[in-house]
Amino acid sequence: MLELRHLSYAVDGPEGQTDILNDISLVIPDNKLVVLTGPNGGGKTTLAKAIMGLVTPSAGSILWNGEDITALSITERAKKGISYGFQQPPRFKGIKVKDLLAIASTRKLLKKAEACAYLTQVGLCATDYLDREVDASLSGGEVKRIEIATILARHPALMILDEPEAGIDLWSFARLTETFGDIRAREECTMVIISHQERIISLADEILVIDQGRIARRGSRDEVFSEIARSTRGACPALYGEEKK
Ligand SMILES: Nc1ncnc2c1ncn2[C@@H]1O[C@H](COP(=O)(O)OP(=O)(O)OP(=O)(O)O)[C@@H](O)[C@H]1O
Ligand SMILES: [Mg+2]
């Protein structure tokens, strides 16, 4: 179980302190899929990074399976089964895709068939990629999918993914959402997915809308999604037949 207690994160700016996260408290039970959504700049990535230990909260605490992990390093959190996929994943010059998968799986000799299976789950044709370097020659969508494959290979207890849909084509995205759906159905791990995509939001046990560093709204897909749709379609009233007569 993941628990956040009164989590805040403030940064010093030219005009004094700015609160990026503001007193966030929540509990995510084991094996649930929770989607964080909300407007750009709302604080979703910062919240995910705080859980992974990439940013240090200015107040509050993070508990994982009842243990306070707020002061633990990224490595210590990783050893406790927490994994994070970046909104913009880093590249690793000189490291091949198969090496990255082997490191992630903690097996020195990851069988080719296993490595291929992880890549297939993210919609990549494995034989084309195993010997490729994770460098600038890969496209943005390919790097993103390879990073998600390495997270799958790690079999984490808590998987945090930051906009897994970003830059991914429709066909691969369909495969990816199937993978998330399968993991959820098998109750393999707890998933916190930051997403703006309806197909991912549809899989969620709970949706949290993060806005201005706070939980603005939370609830089931049915409770929250229609509200999001209503509040975000203001850009073109003509499309929705809401033009003033
Ligand atoms: N170190 C920092 N210094 C100053 N401002 C910061 C810092 N880190 C984050 N912010 C600001 O905090 C806000 C939240 O950023 P964050 O990346 O968490 O948003 P987000 O919800 O993930 O947005 P998006 O949907 O665009 O990915 C943004 O306005 C961002 O500019
Ligand atoms: Mg973000």
pLDDT for res 35: 97
Q: Choose one of 12, 17, 20, 232 to mutate for the ligand 1 pocket test, by most ligand atoms within 8 angstroms of C-beta.
A: 20
- Which amino acid residue places its CA nearest to atom 18 of ligand 1? 43
Closest ligand 1 atom, residue 48 Cα: 18
In order, the DSSP letters of 129-183 are HTTSEESTTS-HHHHHHHHHHHHHHH--SEEEEE-TTTT--HHHHHHHHHHHHHH
Ranges of residues in the chain with a pLDDT under 50 are 236-237, 244-245
Average pLDDT of the residues of the chain: 91
Q: 3-state secondary structure string, 58-94? A: CEEEEEECCEECCCCCHHHHHHCCEEEECCCCCCEEE
Residue 44 CA: which ligand is closest?
Answer: 1
pTM summary value: 0.91
pLDDT for res 97: 95
Give the Å distance between the CA of 40 and the centre of ligand 1.
Answer: 8
Decide: 152 and 180 in contact? Cβ < 8 Å: no
* CATH fold of 2-235: Rossmann fold (3.40.50)
pLDDT for res 234: 57
pLDDT in tens, 50-79: 999 999 999 999 999 999 999 999 999 999
